[in-house]
A and B are shown apart, each in its own frame.
Chain A
Amino acid sequence: MMKFRFRRQGADPQREKLKQELFAFNKTVEHGFPNQPSALAFDPELRIMAIGTRSGAVKIYGAPGVEFTGLHRDTATVTQMHFLPGQGRLLTLLDDSSLHLWEIVHHNGCAHLEEALSFQPPSRPGFDCASGPLSLARVTVVLLLAAGDLAALGTEGGSVFFLDVPTLTLLEGQTLAPDDVLRSVPDDYRCGKALGPVESLQGHLRDPTKILIGYSRGLLVIWNRAAQCADRVFLGNQLESLCWERSGNTLVSSHSDGSYAVWSAGAGGSPVTQPTVATTPYGPFPCKAINKILWRNCASGDHFIIFSGGMPRASYGDRHCVSVLRAETLVTLDFTSRIIDFFTVHSTRPEDEFDEPQALAVLLEEELVVLDLQTPGWPAVPAPYLAPLHSSAITCSAHVANVPAKLWARIVSAGEQQSPQPASSASSWPITGGRNLAQEPSQRGLLLTGHEDGTVRFWDASGVALRPLYKLSTAGLFQTDCEHADSLAQAAEDDWPPFRKVGCFDPYSDDPRLGVQKVALCKYTAQMVVAGTAGQVLVLELSDVPSEQAVSVASVDLLQDREGFTWKGHERLSPRTGPLPWPAGFQPRVLVQCLPPAAVTAVTLHAEWSLVAFGTSHGFGLFDYQRKSPVLARCTLHPNDSLAMEGPLSRVKSLKKSLRQSFRRIRKSRVSGKKRAANANSKLQEANAQLAEQACPHDVEMTPVQRRIEPRSADDSLSGVVRCLYFADTFLRDAAHHGPTMWAGTNSGSVFAYALEVPAAAAGGEKRPERAVEAVLGKEVQLMHRAPVVAIAVLDGRGRPLPEPYEASRDLAQAPDMQGGHAVLIASEEQFKVFTLPKVSAKTKFKLTAHEGCRVRKVALATFASVACEDYAETCLACLTNLGDVHVFSVPGLRPQVHYSCIRKEDISGIASCVFTRHGQGFYLISPSEFERFSLSARNITEPLCSLDISWPRDTTRTSHRLRESPKLSQANGTPGVVLAPGSRDGSPGPARSKGADTPEPPEATLSPMSIDSATSADTTLDTTGDVTVEDVKDFLGSSEESEKNLRNLAEDEARACAVLIK
């Protein structure tokens, strides 16, 4: 080879060992609400709940912190789940009619979910046989009998099969064919020729020999398995669902016409043709089917009837409702998303006479809602986990580590004032199974998510359960168009049915301009800045009491008299004037509006200097929010870049075609990403996609995929986008005097460094004197490769990142070394470079793209603590690439340490949403509603550690059947969790893990990050938000195989423009 590059360092065994002590890759836990849930189950004995999803994931939740995750090998929808009560075992039915038995097993004191057995019903060749009566091809319902040893499977053909659960084998001789049932029914009562599919199977709580079988056509049979005959027969209408009251004397059936019927099963032997009661609750006009009905009795007399659906077809047919009826009280719970399933938490002990339901849990497509049925008014119980992160779409996120206890308490209290906890704390969260073994986290981590509707949500990300703390809404500051609509809707709704809005999933945004683009929080002063889509930059301060005050408004013109440009995008938001009432919490102080009102692309806050810097696609500005005066505005537009000016709207027409193509490509590959077209819905989608494909011009098919090789030039479009901003106290003027500086990096590889003249605060004084802040351009660096600058950080004389504002002055971190020469680390999408300061000359660099062919998406400086040595820690640069790999580099040497494959490269929104924490963890969205948490650190791991008291004799032979060892080999959405780094893979598993395996108390060992913060610190969430960039889309387009044939080489400009719209 021409180049004798020894990029891979020779294997220094000592360094390799150290690396193993520092770095380990684990995907630890999924936060948020499971995407596309499809099944629900509850174990009343263990008080744990299971949720199955359409991607085949199984998630079990108990008390906060108790979670188990499993993934079926096939990506098939979980249609039903049933707990074997008290055993910690779960039987799942997939839509391919396979049955899987999962069990929670304990290893070294910690419980894990593992798949124990699976059963694929013998399918017969030929399509016709599949619908035959004796085929098991389509299982419709499952009922567990005899304490879970036996399962009855109802099928589409009308037969009921029996299965031995411990071995998952079919009990051949016991199958109950429809003919057997019909034989027991007098000829007169046979309804038609066939009974139809088995719609419902219910067991008797006290008499295990009796099963209630409901057939789709309406026949209800109480079958006695011992006597092999029908005890009772009822003739009803087209059946949807059945419920057998606990005494066995009453049946409730719900029907497709929106009615339900109550049958008495007490006395009499002859077939019953008339129910005792039959009502259509939302009649008399045609109603939709009641999909599921529950009957629960109470000691106080009145019983609960809880059912889903049944709404009047014409007027409220599109509502997603669950009705709770008790005596005369009817509440129609009105949800914003589809109802998947619901259950009540009630007594299931056979000796109890009454159900006494405590709570109703409703699983919706987008959230889980739990109502307290014992408190009058049936209030909703706030969920400690399973929060719908996406109640409005997440537009950005940021992580704040080591939150001071004081700020934490203030945020929690603000959140409590916002949503008061129910008075009766006794009947709070009803799902309490298991014990959380994880130690109380030693430090508090806050995850901030910005949303499309202008809210910022604060989440407790310290532990396994992501708990909502506080919600900040910025919409109240602005006048939006959609304010009257709400009051109108309210007025129309107070008559019958008695609707009650429940849940918080609300994907509709009043005004897209409210969307939050960037968030920054100073954890010492409780000041934060929220920047949005219409160029609004809001400085807020935490206040413990409500207040009423006016917000001062300023605008900063970022164009700086640049001629020849007209902004054709959205208007800026018009703020409300006059004093406004603000609840306790973060209250706005200053609003800065950028002109033109393009989305803010970078923001940073320095509370010590009272400065906020912000950037858009046009330039950046610096604002002194103490004096409420602008300090600096700088236009970064290239004169040739007209695209940036026009805003997103004008490009729609000219690029319609290419847009359509890109969307189609994305959609197509999503469809093909699934293993098979699982249901009719996706088949339809596919057909639509094909139709659309045919309609498009054929010239697209002619040219193969090709890529232009051309270096970026200065006049590429959107080159002026400000990508990162950074404040540092460092040496910019000369080597002898340090001072405040501000750094800005753009999309075209330009870095501007300003020396700031900030009046020094008087000794002991918090506020600095009222003198103007000055900014002077000190340096301007043009990176020759012109790649977008992703992050800038200044390293002190020891090569460590500078601490956050106030950290050093309040003795919370080691003061930076101001003696040795400082250096600035500039990370572009292609290279990392360290330059000396104040003379900006290149010191070290790593050309990632030139070597690996991947591009940098996210970087952050993180502290990695060693598992072997208490106080050894290294600061490294963590980097996520467009291929979804995570690389770790040493700082300031920029030597590659390890790399892992983390996210599928097709998952561009996952890559765009990634956030690194300061201690080597990270989050990214695996679905709109779920964050996957991963750790790169061998020591700082946040994973579920819990135990469950399960009661069934452990059979050692069963372990040999075990199908998979670790439930967390892959994540729920199918991302492979393969570890690539040779260094950390070849050796034994991470020391933390092996330690956990040997010693009885692993949580202490793994979960305490200890005093690493004092060793090194820096604000390292350099740039964390989830914009999908042009390159993301380009990468994506290029990588999908489908696009290969019909992808024309998009001109660069086109691709850029469509990305803006996709975003």
Chain B
Amino acid sequence: MSHCSVPACDPREPAQFGAEFRRFSLDRQKPGKFEDFYNLVVHTHHISNTDVTIGYADVHGDLLPINNDDNFCKAVSSANPLLRVFIQKREEAEHCSFGAGGSLSRRRKALALREDGPRRRAHLHIGLPHDFRPVSSIIDVDILPETHRRVRLYRHGCQKPLGFYIRDGTSVRVAPQGLEKVPGIFISRMVPGGLAESTGLLAVDDEVLEVNGIEVAGKTLDQVTDMMIANSHNLIVTVKPANQRNNVVRGSRASGSSGRSSDSAASRHSLPAAPALLHLQPDDADSDDEPDVVLEGVLEPRPAPRPPPPGSQARVNGAGPAHRLLSSLRADPRHSLALPLPPGAVEEHGPAVTL
């Protein structure tokens, strides 16, 4: 038997963070159909008249959807032992994209973009694939020389290491008086199964030119190492690939030419709408803010009991029902007592935990 703890947003009062909690059990071996589960959920919460989406938090702390039998089974099997299921009103859920990549700013942007017609949007699901999270992308193809490649790595959780090594080396530059050798930083090794390798966008002997917009020329290997680690939550490296045959060719036939990159994020940029979509990425300078996790203790306010649980208004930009839900969960004394956090549970950098 597996237990499901189901905090749910009360759809009738969507603005309020407050939630109802329901706890019920399911058979882990035979979870049954999604349809039945959906009905059970809406029944339990007495919200059968509303359209809701059901999501759950996976081991990484990412909020993933339950909308068919397969991912329902997956969800149940991932419960250990509790499966935390989130229920949101459908319209609201649209605003809050699933997947780990969506951080706050992204949502902010998404809202802004949708001013023209949110209705239409509900039908046409063109845009970011909701149920996937990006792992890497090639960016700034339009402004970089063709010989260079700017790669962005998204790191989620600790499960997958970034997985590459850098080394010192010499590179050849064209100088006014001919070719000259200058010291450079190169990728020296890929960890098998690591994020860097799995993207296919970086390779051994690629020369690192910039890290998050800062040139590495003149910096020591250790400085570059520290810069990369400091930026590791949103690492953007500009490389000069050792293999120059897979370069993006600029111009009309942009589509499908992003070299070996076959992941969703990279190919997305070859769509005509790429520039606009680009800005959906949280890649402006400050949105790569890794929000620090603030956990509230069990402080009772001294003079009078504080009305809402702490944390409910802690993050102005952390709005969104799911966030509030989770933050209220964390603020619950029972939960905050369970510190330190189980690995990957709440401190991860996903939308569900940007408290």
Any chain B CB within 8 A of the CB of A695? Answer: no
Contact of B221 among A5, A737, A849, A1038 (CB under 8 A): A1038
Beyond A705-B168, A709-B232, is A839–B313 a contact (Cβ under 8 Å)? yes
Contact of B166 among A709, A776, A779, A787 (CB under 8 A): A709
What's the minimum C-beta distance from A2 to chain B, rounded to whole angstroms?
Answer: 5
Any chain A CB within 8 A of the CB of B219? Answer: yes
Cα-based distance from A534 to B163 in the complex (angstroms): 39
Beyond A713-B158, A781-B294, A782-B347, is A853–B165 a contact (Cβ under 8 Å)? no
* Set of chain A residues within 8 Å of B290, measured between Cβ atoms: 784-785
Cα-based distance from A598 to B219 in the complex (angstroms): 37
Beyond A734-B302, A780-B295, A784-B291, is A883–B223 a contact (Cβ under 8 Å)? yes
Question: A875-912 vs B: 1/0 string, CB under 8 Å?
Answer: 00000000100000000000000000000000000000
What's the minimum C-beta distance from A873 to chain B, rounded to whole angstroms?
Answer: 31
Are B293's CB and A784's CB within 8 A? yes
Are A707's CB and B165's CB within 8 A? yes
* Set of chain B residues within 8 Å of A779, measured between Cβ atoms: 294-297
- The segment from A310-318, A840-848, A938-946 that touches chain B is A840-848
* Set of chain A residues within 8 Å of B166, measured between Cβ atoms: 706-707, 709
* Set of chain A residues within 8 Å of B227, measured between Cβ atoms: 849-853
What's the minimum C-beta distance from B333 to chain A, rounded to whole angstroms?
Answer: 11
Are A840's CB and B226's CB within 8 A? no
Any chain B CB within 8 A of the CB of A488? Answer: no
Are B188's CB and A706's CB within 8 A? yes
Beyond A705-B168, A734-B306, is A714–B223 a contact (Cβ under 8 Å)? no
Cα-based distance from A733 to B222 in the complex (angstroms): 41
Which residues of B, 16-70, contact A by the 8 Å Cβ criterion?
none
Any chain B CB within 8 A of the CB of A704? Answer: yes
Cα-based distance from A732 to B140 in the complex (angstroms): 44
Are B229's CB and A704's CB within 8 A? no
Any chain B CB within 8 A of the CB of A82? Answer: no
Q: Which A-chain residue is minimally distant from B155 (CB atoms)? A: A711
Beyond A707-B225, A710-B161, A855-B226, is A2–B296 a contact (Cβ under 8 Å)? no
Any chain A CB within 8 A of the CB of B236? Answer: yes
* Set of chain A residues within 8 Å of B298, measured between Cβ atoms: 776-777
Are A781's CB and B293's CB within 8 A? yes
What's the minimum C-beta distance from B233 to chain A, rounded to whole angstroms?
Answer: 6
Cα-based distance from A705 to B233 in the complex (angstroms): 24
Any chain B CB within 8 A of the CB of A270? Answer: no
Are B165's CB and A709's CB within 8 A? yes
Any chain A CB within 8 A of the CB of B212? Answer: yes
Are B293's CB and A732's CB within 8 A? no
Q: How many residues of A contact B (CB 8 A)?
A: 60
* Set of chain A residues within 8 Å of B214, measured between Cβ atoms: 850-851, 853
What's the minimum C-beta distance from B292 to chain A, rounded to whole angstroms?
Answer: 5
Any chain A CB within 8 A of the CB of B224? Answer: yes
* Set of chain B residues within 8 Å of A787, measured between Cβ atoms: 230
Any chain B CB within 8 A of the CB of A1049? Answer: yes
Any chain A CB within 8 A of the CB of B149? Answer: no
Q: Which A-chain residue is minimally distant from B232 (CB atoms)? A: A711
Q: Which B-chain residue is minimally distant from A854 (CB atoms)? A: B223
Any chain B CB within 8 A of the CB of A683? Answer: no
Cα-based distance from A736 to B302 in the complex (angstroms): 10
Any chain A CB within 8 A of the CB of B213? Answer: yes
Q: Which B-chain residue is minimally distant from A750 (CB atoms)? A: B340
What's the minimum C-beta distance from A715 to chain B, rounded to whole angstroms?
Answer: 7
Cα-based distance from A732 to B169 in the complex (angstroms): 51
Are A711's CB and B222's CB within 8 A? no
Which residues of A, 739-766, contact B by the 8 Å Cβ criterion?
739, 753, 755
What's the minimum C-beta distance from B231 to chain A, rounded to whole angstroms?
Answer: 5
* Set of chain B residues within 8 Å of A1044, measured between Cβ atoms: 168
Cα-based distance from A783 to B293 in the complex (angstroms): 7
Provide the main secondary structure of the chain A interface. Answer: loop
* Set of chain A residues within 8 Å of B143, measured between Cβ atoms: 1-2
Interface residues on B, range: 35 or more
Cα-based distance from A410 to B328 in the complex (angstroms): 55
Any chain B CB within 8 A of the CB of A319? Answer: no
Count of inter-chain pairs, beta carbons less than 8 A:
174
Q: Which A-chain residue is minimally distant from B318 (CB atoms)? A: A841
Any chain B CB within 8 A of the CB of A271? Answer: no
Are B340's CB and A639's CB within 8 A? yes
* Set of chain A residues within 8 Å of B139, measured between Cβ atoms: 2
Question: B230-258 vs A: 1/0 string, CB under 8 Å?
Answer: 11110110000000000000000000000
Any chain B CB within 8 A of the CB of A109? Answer: no
Any chain A CB within 8 A of the CB of B332? Answer: no
Cα-based distance from A785 to B158 in the complex (angstroms): 13
Cα-based distance from A851 to B233 in the complex (angstroms): 14
Which residues of A, 118-146, contact B by the 8 Å Cβ criterion?
none
Are B228's CB and A705's CB within 8 A? no
Question: A761-777 vs B: 1/0 string, CB under 8 Å?
Answer: 00000000000000011
* Set of chain B residues within 8 Å of A698, measured between Cβ atoms: none
Are A784's CB and B343's CB within 8 A? no
Any chain A CB within 8 A of the CB of B220? Answer: yes
Contact of A783 among B161, B163, B292 (CB under 8 A): B292
Are A704's CB and B188's CB within 8 A? yes
Contact of A739 among B226, B289, B302 (CB under 8 A): B302
* Set of chain B residues within 8 Å of A706, measured between Cβ atoms: 165-167, 188-189
Cα-based distance from A963 to B227 in the complex (angstroms): 42
Beyond A3-B285, A711-B155, A782-B293, is A705–B164 a contact (Cβ under 8 Å)? no
Q: Which A-chain residue is minimally distant from B164 (CB atoms)? A: A709
Any chain B CB within 8 A of the CB of A653? Answer: no
What's the minimum C-beta distance from A905 to chain B, rounded to whole angstroms?
Answer: 9
* Set of chain A residues within 8 Å of B343, measured between Cβ atoms: 714-715
Are B219's CB and A853's CB within 8 A? yes
* Set of chain B residues within 8 Å of A839, measured between Cβ atoms: 313-314
Beyond A707-B221, A739-B302, A781-B294, is A5–B167 a contact (Cβ under 8 Å)? no
Contact of B232 among A707, A710, A777, A1034 (CB under 8 A): A710
Any chain A CB within 8 A of the CB of B150? Answer: yes
Are B230's CB and A830's CB within 8 A? yes
Are A778's CB and B230's CB within 8 A? no
Any chain A CB within 8 A of the CB of B315? Answer: yes
Are B292's CB and A842's CB within 8 A? yes
What's the minimum C-beta distance from B274 to chain A, rounded to whole angstroms?
Answer: 14
What's the minimum C-beta distance from B335 to chain A, rounded to whole angstroms?
Answer: 12
* Set of chain B residues within 8 Å of A850, measured between Cβ atoms: 212, 214, 227, 230-231
Are B314's CB and A853's CB within 8 A? no
Any chain B CB within 8 A of the CB of A712? Answer: yes
Any chain A CB within 8 A of the CB of B266? Answer: no
Are B299's CB and A714's CB within 8 A? no
Contact of A780 among B196, B223, B294 (CB under 8 A): B294
Cα-based distance from A781 to B233 in the complex (angstroms): 18
Cα-based distance from A5 to B285 in the complex (angstroms): 7
Cα-based distance from A851 to B155 in the complex (angstroms): 20
Are B229's CB and A711's CB within 8 A? yes
What's the minimum C-beta distance from A351 to chain B, rounded to whole angstroms?
Answer: 65
Are B301's CB and A733's CB within 8 A? yes
Question: B72-95 vs A: 1/0 string, CB under 8 Å?
Answer: 000000000000000000000000
Question: B157-197 vs A: 1/0 string, CB under 8 Å?
Answer: 01001111111110000000000000000001100000010
Q: A709-B165, A753-B297 are in contact. List 15 more A-B contacts (CB 8 A).
A: A5-B213, A706-B189, A712-B229, A733-B299, A733-B302, A734-B301, A734-B302, A737-B301, A776-B297, A782-B292, A782-B294, A841-B294, A850-B231, A853-B223, A883-B223
Instruction: Give me the interface of B with A, judged by CB distance under 8 Å.
Output: 139-140, 143, 150, 155, 158, 161-169, 188-189, 196, 212-214, 216, 219-233, 235-236, 283-285, 289-299, 301-303, 306, 313-316, 336, 339-340, 343, 347, 349
The 7 closest A-B pairs by CB, nearest first: A853-B223, A784-B290, A711-B232, A849-B230, A777-B297, A3-B213, A707-B225
A-B contact pairs, 26 of them (CB 8 A): A2-B140, A2-B143, A704-B169, A708-B164, A709-B165, A733-B302, A755-B299, A779-B294, A779-B295, A779-B296, A780-B297, A781-B292, A781-B294, A782-B347, A784-B291, A784-B292, A830-B226, A840-B292, A841-B315, A849-B226, A849-B229, A850-B212, A850-B227, A853-B222, A853-B223, A1038-B225
